[in-house]
Structure formats: C-alpha cells, structure tokens
Structure 1
Amino acid sequence: MPAKNRIAPVSKLSVEAQATQSLRDYVLSGAVKPGEKLTEVALADEMGVARATLRFGLNRLAAEGLLVKTPYTSWEVRTLTADDAWELWTLRASLESLAVRLAAENMGPRLRDRLQEAFDDLVTACASGSAVTASEGDIGLHRTIVNSVGHTRLADQYKLVEQQVRLYINISNTLVGSDLSGIVDQHRAMMDALLRGDGPKAAHEAWLHNESEGGKLVAYLHQRAKMEAAGATQ
C-alpha cells in the first residue's frame, strides 16, 4: 500500500531569523532615530548572539532599506529625504489603489468581515495612545488589503518595499501629534467606499490619502533639510 501523506512538522525560526525580527522591531519601534549609528559589538552583546548572526540581520535590514552600511565603519538607521518620501508615497499609492479597487470589486461577506476587522484593529491601536502601536495598525490594514485580493505579483511587489513603508508611516504618523484618532479619520473615506464595493471611489480615496499624508511628510522633510543646512552654515 502506498504510504500516507504526512503533514510536515512546523519548523522553528532560525536564530538568524529571530535576530533579524528582533532588530527590525527595534529599528521600527523608534528606539533609534533616523541617522543614528548602530554598533555591532554592543548590539551582539545586548541580544546575546554571535556577531556573525547579528551581521546576518543587519545585512537583511540593509536590503530592506531600513539600514545603511558605511564601509568598514558602522551601520546607521536610514534617514528619509524629501525625495525618498515622494518616491515612497507615489509608489505605495499606486500599489494600494490597485489593491483597494480589486478588493472592492470582489467584495463578499467573508472579505468584508476580514477588512472590517483590520480597520477595527487600527481603531483599537490608535486608541492605545502609542504611536508605534498605531503605526503597526496602520500598516496592518494596508497589508491586509493587499494580501486579500489574490494578486500574487502585487503582493510580492508590496512586500519588497513594505519595511520602508513601515518606516515612512512611523515618521509620518509622528506629525499627527498626540491625537492618534486623526490616523483613523485619514482612512474612513477609503474604507467606506471599499466596504460598499465601490472600486473606482475606493481607489481614488486611497490615492488621495497617500497624496495628502505623503505631501505633508515631503514638506516636513524639505523644511527640516533647510533648517539643518542653515544650522551647518552658522
């Protein structure tokens, strides 16, 4: 008799994968600021891992666009410029608008419940009072929409820039200030159109959301660069 198919055992995350996730959470938590340097020896000691393991994680985060390596010296958290912010908001707006339109056009009870739950999670995250938690709820909503439409290539392209988008969102959401409910308000028009199945309207609102918040971040970074340049000449 042919052998029965066996379910594959669940493999544990490797030490390298755990170190990478820990580093990613650390960078995106805001514990280190853009431009701040990271020291391999200190990080390896604090995490209790070998430097080779740590270096694997650092290289992975550099590939994701979260860190920059200065040859033979150190690592530092990537600093977003106004041009970086413009590229990110226009790219994510294109990807998210497509995802929202496809989700709306294929709306059904199960998908509606899934998307409503993701939006409710954002509301809860913003009510927590933590900007980091709110930002995770923010990217979680957009990730859920992208991954819900069954478009493999779209999901793959979004994953390529997802960590940079998380960094972008973290910085952008700091401009909201202490009233994190404003983050929820930014998404309401898009979600209303999405949940009622209006694809063109949902896509339009997704673009407007990115354009509005992206424009604010671009303006902020432009102003910050001018102030830093003025300070350097004094």
Structure 2
Amino acid sequence: MTEDVRSGRAAGSRATLHDMALKGDQAYDLIRREILSCRILPGARVTEPELGERFGLGKASLRIALQRLTQAGLIASIPRHGYRVTPVTAKDVDEIFTLRLALEPLAARAATGRVNRGQLERLERACRGQMPVEVGNQIDFFMEANRSFHMAIAASSGNERLSRTLSGLMDEMTRLVALGFGVQGVRPNIENDHELLIEHLSAGDADAAERVARRHVETFRDMTMEKVVASLKLADAPLAPADAQFRA
C-alpha cells in the first residue's frame, strides 16, 4: 500500500468521524431543546427507535446524543427499557428560585446606572409581544427573550462569575416555565416589573432596582410553583404535542 493511499484512507476516516460527531451534536441539540421545552415531558420513557423515528435520526448520531444527554443529567438509562427523562420536582423549583433570589437582586444593584436602556426596552417588548407564527413555539420565543432580558442585566453588573451562574439557572428555568405554563397553554404574567426595573436601573436607584428584582423573582417563584404542581398532575402522556402554542 502506497503512502498516498494510506494518507487518503486516514483522511477519509477522520472526515467520517468528524461528520459523525457533527451529526451527534445536532441530534443532542435537537433532543435537548425538546426536553427543555417539555415537548418531551419530564418523567417520560423513550426508546431509541421512538426517538429515531420522531426526529429522523440515525443510530450512530442518536446514541452519541443519548450519551451526552445522560451525562448532562437530562435522561437516565433504564436497562432493556430505553431511557427516562429526568423528572421535575417541587424541590427543583425551590432550589432554583432560592439561588435566583440570592443573585438577581445583587446583579440588579451592581448593574444600576450601567445598563443599555434601549436594549432592555427591546427585550421587554419581545417578552410581551404577540410572536409571529413562523417563529415557532411561542414559549421558546418568550423564554429566550426573558432570558436575554435578565442576562443583559447580569452582564451589565460586570461580575462575570455572577453572570455565568445566572446563565445556568436561566437554562434550568426554561424547563420549569415550559412545564408550568407551556403545558397548560398560558403565558406568564410578569406585570410591569421589567418596566420598573428598566426605570430604576437607568435612573441610578440601586435600592429600588434591588427591591423590584427581589419582588419579581418571589412573585414568579410562586406562580411557577403553582403551575408546575398542576402540570405534574396532568403529566401522564409520554410526549407533549409538538405544535403546542401559548394562548394569550
């Protein structure tokens, strides 16, 4: 075998492995998004054939995705019975909001006088606005806008570790909100807290910004806990409808 042939085969092997890894990443992102948005419900049991058929995935890329989802704690393997999506519990809600209560008022105080008001106002309008149909599931759009609003404040605090920690919490919030509100088809009511936050942050009133941030998290915690508990009682279907939409 010539050196050119060996090099060609090695290059082909590397290309195949790269292509497989890329498809595995795409499969992981797809299924992860379905789990976080609760289109695959917490506690649901799923199998490789079911997921492969539902999403049009090959066995190799699907197995890479399932391994990563297991490592991320989003699913658990059930020997000879497929996988189970990690459940959401009232304890999860309590722990996530306990951390948000500790960190978001701190972020608001640190961000006072440092925010981009125009950016926050655009994100606030996105949180409240009627989303165009082509955007897809409205809960995904709402959660992205809401996450971006809170993360813009965290970024303005100048504390990178605080921002990274809140980023992880907001990712976990996606599944809580999807389960609590999306499954029941209702939009979270955030009243005018975002608008008040923008006013206080822009005016340089750190005490007021901290106070509103704390009240906002406390109110949203109570609403989310109520909705999550109600949805868990209804979560007997293994897969939520793929085209579920928010109702205003």
TM-score (norm 2): 0.68
Distance 2:31 2:193 in 1: 30
How is 1:110-149 mapped onto 2 (pairs within 5 angstroms)?
111-124=116-129, 130-149=138-157
Change (3 A) 1:99 1:30: same
Q: Identify the residue that residue 210 of structure 1 maps to in structure 2.
A: 217
Once the two structures are overlaid, the 10-residue window that deviates more, 163-172 or 187-196, is 187-196
Distance 1:118 1:19, change over 3 A: same
Displacement, 1:125? 5.2
Q: CA separation in 2, counterparts of 1:162 and 1:60?
A: 20
For 1:79, give the aligned amino acid.
P
* Deviation by residue 1:60-81 (Cα, 9 ceiling, x = unmatched): 444545x230442332333221
CA separation in 1, counterparts of 2:132 and 2:195? Answer: 16
Structure 2 Cα separation of the partners of residues 181 and 210 of structure 1:
13
Q: Which of 49, 55, 59 pairs up with 2:57? A: 49
Structure label with greater radius of gyration = 2
Unmatched tracts of structure 1, length 5 or more: 1-11, 229-234
Could you tell me how far 1:89 is from its partner in structure 2? 0.9
Structure 2, unmatched stretches of 5+, are: 1-18, 235-248
- Superposition map of 1:6-21 within 5 A: 14-21=22-29
Q: Distance in 2 between the 1:191 and 1:181 partners?
A: 19
Shift of 1:151: 2.2
Query: Counterpart of 1:4?
Result: none
TM-score using structure 1 length = 0.72
Q: Does 1:183 align with 2:190?
A: yes
The percentage of counterpart residues that share the same residue type is 25
1:94 and 2:102 correspond: yes
Aligned partner letter, 1:42 = E
Q: CA RMSD in A?
A: 3.3
Distance 1:26 1:98, change over 3 A: same
Q: How many residues align?
A: 211
Higher RCO, Cα 8 Å, sep 6+: 2
Separation of aligned partners in 2, 1:39 and 1:135 = 28
Q: Residues of 2 paired with 1:49 and 1:224: CA distance?
A: 29
